[in-house]
Chains A and B, each alone.
Chain A
Amino acid sequence: MNDERFFTRLAVKTDAMQGTGERAPARLKSRLYSALVAEQAASGPLLSLPATKAAGRPLCVFEHLLQVVPAGERVTSMNPCRVCHARVLAEHFESPPIYWPHCPYVAFRRG
Chain B
Amino acid sequence: MQSDTPSGAESVVSPAVPPGDALASEEGALLAAVLKKDRKATAEFVSRYADPVYGYVSQRLAPRADLTEDLVQEVFLVALGKLDTFAGQSSVLGWLLGIARHKVEDLYRARLREPEPLSAVEHASRPGPVALPDFDERIDRARAQEKTRRILERLPEAYGLALLWRYWEKRSTKEMAAQTGKTEKAMERLLSRARAHFRRLWEGELGP
CB contacts (< 8 Å) of B132 on chain A: these are 1, 6
Which secondary structure dominates where chain A touches chain B? Answer: helix
CB contacts (< 8 Å) of A108 on chain B: these are 43, 46-47
Q: Is B86 an interface residue (CB 8 A)?
A: no
B37 adjacent to A22 (CB under 8 Å): no
CB contacts (< 8 Å) of B90 on chain A: these are none
B37 adjacent to A20 (CB under 8 Å): no
B50 adjacent to A32 (CB under 8 Å): yes
Contact residues on B (Cβ < 8 Å of other chain), bracket:
35 or more
B144 adjacent to A33 (CB under 8 Å): no
Give the one of B55, B73, B195 with max A CB within 10 A: B55
Q: Mark A9-22, 1 if CB is under 8 A from B, else 0.
A: 11101111111111
B51 adjacent to A37 (CB under 8 Å): no
Q: Is A70 an interface residue (CB 8 A)?
A: no
Say which one of B18-26, B109-117, B160-168, B176-184 lies at the interface with A: B160-168
CB contacts (< 8 Å) of A25 on chain B: these are 69
A11 to B48, CA, bound (A): 26
Q: Pick 13 A–B contacts, CB within 8 A, sort by A.
A: A3-B196, A6-B135, A10-B135, A11-B170, A16-B145, A19-B16, A20-B59, A28-B50, A36-B42, A46-B39, A104-B46, A104-B47, A108-B47
Contacts A37-B39, A104-B40 aside, 19 further interface pairs with beta carbons under 8 A come to A10-B135, A11-B168, A13-B141, A16-B58, A17-B56, A24-B53, A28-B54, A32-B50, A36-B77, A37-B42, A39-B80, A40-B39, A40-B42, A40-B80, A47-B36, A52-B40, A55-B38, A57-B38, A108-B46
